[in-house]
């Protein structure tokens, strides 16, 4: 977006803190993408956000955090732990020991971050459903019951806790579920 730069392979060439995303300027290392951006903005007086309102910036910040804190871990888990690891040809060139250690580290780090770690609560926030459950169940039910055999349906069914959550929510709030749904044929419910 701004100014010139040189790119180096950060997979093999990490910062002194072990970070893959980092910059070096005049011998000073700055690790972590957000710190790198802040450093460049301050050092070179660059403001790529000057044309936006506080409301627009708040929306952008929300999306950025979702991508950095959640979508990132989905990508990493799929790439190095789940099915993607089998197809990643560059990954296959590493030794079995390296692949095993990388998989273990990604699993450990993702759980520490809160991804893939689920509680024993009946609903997302506790023993009673919340507005969050309404939204999450609405989306998960599409994957779970109406996935049309796509990868999302296959993926959700690999996680018993998500399946149990869907079944538990359906049973508790829609005991007449089969009468309430259209079954995809007529578009008309029985009830």
In tens, the pLDDT along 91-136 reads: 667 788 887 888 889 888 888 887 766 667 888 888 898 888 988 8
Tell me the sheet residues that pair with 30: 23
Q: Of 59, 82, 94, give the one whose Cα is nearest residue 158.
A: 82
Q: Tell me which of 50 and 7 has the higher pLDDT.
A: 50
Burial of 131 (0-12, 13-18, 19+ CB in 10 A): exposed
Mean pLDDT across 17-22: 70
Mean pLDDT of the chain: 80
Compare 168 and 11 and report the one with higher pLDDT.
Answer: 168
- With cut-offs at 50, 70 and 90, classify the pLDDT of residue 84: low
* Residue 184 C-alpha from the chain's centroid: 30
CA distance 25 to 66: 29
The residue among 50 and 184 whose pLDDT is bigger is 50
Cα(71)–Cα(65) distance, integer angstroms: 9
């Amino acid at each position: 977006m701004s100014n010139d730069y040189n790119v180096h392979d950060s997979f093999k060439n990490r910062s002194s803190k072990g970070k893959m995303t980092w910059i070096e300027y005049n011998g000073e290392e700055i690790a972590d993408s957000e710190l790198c951006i802040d450093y460049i903005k301050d050092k070179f007086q660059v403001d790529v956000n000057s044309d936006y309102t506080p409301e627009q910036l708040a929306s952008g910040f929300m999306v950025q955090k979702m991508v950095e804190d959640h979508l990132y871990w989905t990508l990493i888990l799929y790439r190095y732990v789940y099915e993607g690891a089998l197809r990643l040809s560059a990954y296959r060139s590493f030794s079995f020991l390296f692949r095993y250690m990388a998989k273990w580290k990604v699993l450990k780090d993702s759980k520490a971050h809160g991804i893939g770690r689920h509680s024993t609560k009946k609903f997302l926030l506790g023993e009673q459903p919340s507005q969050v459950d309404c939204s999450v169940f609405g989306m998960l039910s599409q994957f779970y019951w109406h996935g049309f055999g796509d990868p999302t349906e296959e993926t959700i069914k690999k996680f018993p806790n998500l399946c149990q959550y869907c079944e538990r929510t359906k049973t508790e709030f829609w005991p007449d579920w089969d009468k309430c749904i259209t079954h995809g044929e007529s578009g008309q419910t029985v009830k």
